[in-house]
Amino acid sequence: MVRSRGETYTTLDVTGVKPNANHMVHVHEETCASNNGGAHFRFDETQPFAEANEIWLPFTADATGASTLVEDTMPIRAGAKAVSIVIHDPDNGAKRIGCVDLAPSTADLTYDWDFGDGTTGTGADPDHTYAEPGTYTATVTVGSVHAGHMPGHDATTTAEVEIVVEDGETPDTTAPQTTVTAGPTGTVRSTTATFRLASDESGTFECRLNGGAWRPCASPATFTNLRQGAQRLEVRAVDAAGNEDATPVVRTWKVDTQGPVVKNLGPRGTTRDRTPTVRAVVRDQGSELARRHLTLRIDGKKVGVRYDARTDRMTWTSGRAMSIGRHTVRLVVVDAVGNRTTKTWRFTVRR
Ligand SMILES: [Ca+2]
Ligand SMILES: [Ca+2]
Ligand SMILES: [Ca+2]
C-alpha cells in the first residue's frame, strides 16, 4: 500500500486459492494476529461501511488458482488504521481464508517538520502557510513509532527541501463600482458636456455615448459637438486587474440649441375687425413652454397673452377698438434654456 497525499494505492498478488472462483478481499483495521484482521478499514469512521468508504480488492482466480496483480486506487489517503488485507472464502463469505499484514507500511511512521520560519508541524503531508514571501528550508525527520522496540525500525531519516514563497496576493476578481459625480442633467443649451467620474478602485474608465462603441475615457470626460436632442452616456470603471463594472452608470440629458418655432402668425394684411385677435402657434423641441416664455408687444407696448401649452396656441385680443391704420406685432419667445426666437409682423385695421 502506498499512501500519498490525496491517494491510496493498494496492490495484491496471491497464489494457491480456488481456481476460477470470485474472491472478496478487503483492507482491515487490525493486524492478522489480532482477530484475523478485525473489521473493515473505513476512511471515514463516522460513515457506514460501504465500498466507497473502504478499500476492496476483489479478484477472480485463474485456472491455476492465482489472482495475478490486483490494483486499487482510492482518491483519499488511508490513515494508520489500514493495516491488513483479508481474503474471504469464495464459497462462504463469512469465512476468512487468508490474511496478510500490509508491509512495508507507511502508516507507522512519524513525521516531524521544521518549516524554517520558526514553526513546526507533524504528519506526512501537512498544510502550512508562510506569512511572508521568502526562501525557506523546511526539514522533515521521519521516524517509526516502533523505534527502539523492533529491530530495523529504530532509524530516523532527515530530509530538507527549499521552499520559495512568492508574494501571494489573491487575484482581484471583484468588479469596481462607478459613480459620476458631476455632469449635465435635464435640458442644457451647451453642445459640450463634461462629466466627473469616480470609482471605488484605482483603474481606468470606459464611456459609451448614445449607444456607440465603448471607448477609453478619463475624468473629467468631455464630449463635444453633441447633436440636438436626447443624450445618453454610459460609464464603467475598469480596475487594475481588468474587471469591468457590470452595471455602468447611465446619465441622460437633453441638448437644446434651437429657439422655439413660431408660425401661423395672424392677423396679416388688412382687417375690418377693430378688436382683432393676434395669434401664433409657438412650440419648442427641447423644452416645455409656458406663458412666461412669451413676450408680445403691440406697437411697442407690452401686452399680456394667453398661451395654451396643449395646443401651442398664443392669442391676444384687444380689449378696446384699435386705431385705424397699421400696427406692428413683435413676439419674443425664449425657451427654458435661453434660446430665443423673435418674430415681427404687421397688419392694418381698415374702416
Ligand atoms: Ca477589483
Ligand atoms: Ca455599477
Ligand atoms: Ca429650444
**Annotation: CATH topology of 178-255:** Immunoglobulin-like (2.60.40)
CATH 2.60.40.1220 boundaries in the chain: 261-349
Could you tell me where in the chain the CATH 2.60.40.10 domains are found? 109-165, 178-255
| pLDDT score of 101 | 86
Bigger pLDDT: 312 vs 151 = 312
CATH class, range 261-349: mainly beta
- Cell matching residue 304: 399680456
Mean pLDDT (whole number) for 80-89: 90
* CATH 2.60.40.200 residue spans of the chain: 2-101
> How many Å lie between the centroid of ligand 3 and the Cα of residue 311?
17
Average pLDDT, the chain: 91
Report whether 331 contacts 294 (CB < 8 A): yes
The hierarchical CATH code for the domain 109-165 is 2.60.40.10
Q: What is the pLDDT of residues 111-153, one digit of tens each?
A: 899 999 999 998 877 888 888 888 899 898 887 766 555 555 5
Nearest ligand to residue 189 Cα: 3
Q: What's residue 257's pLDDT?
A: 95
Q: Identify residues whose C-beta is under 5 A from ligand 2, the ion.
A: 177, 245, 247
Tens of pLDDT, residues 237-258: 999 999 999 999 999 999 999 9
Is it the case that residue 159 has pLDDT exceeding 90? Answer: no
> Ligand nearest 177 Cα, by number?
2
Cβ atoms < 10 Å from Cβ of 160: 10
CA 214–ligand 2 middle distance (angstroms): 15
- In this prediction, residue 187 carries a pLDDT of 94
Task: Give the C-alpha distances (Å, rounded to integers) separating 61 from 65, 66, 86.
Answer: 5, 5, 15
For residue 345, report the distance from its CA to the centre of ligand 3, in Å.
22
The per-residue pLDDT for range 245-296, each reduced to its tens digit, is 999 999 999 999 999 999 999 999 999 999 999 999 999 988 889 999 999 9
Q: Which ligand is nearest to the CA of 200?
A: 1
CATH no. of 2-101: 2.60.40.200
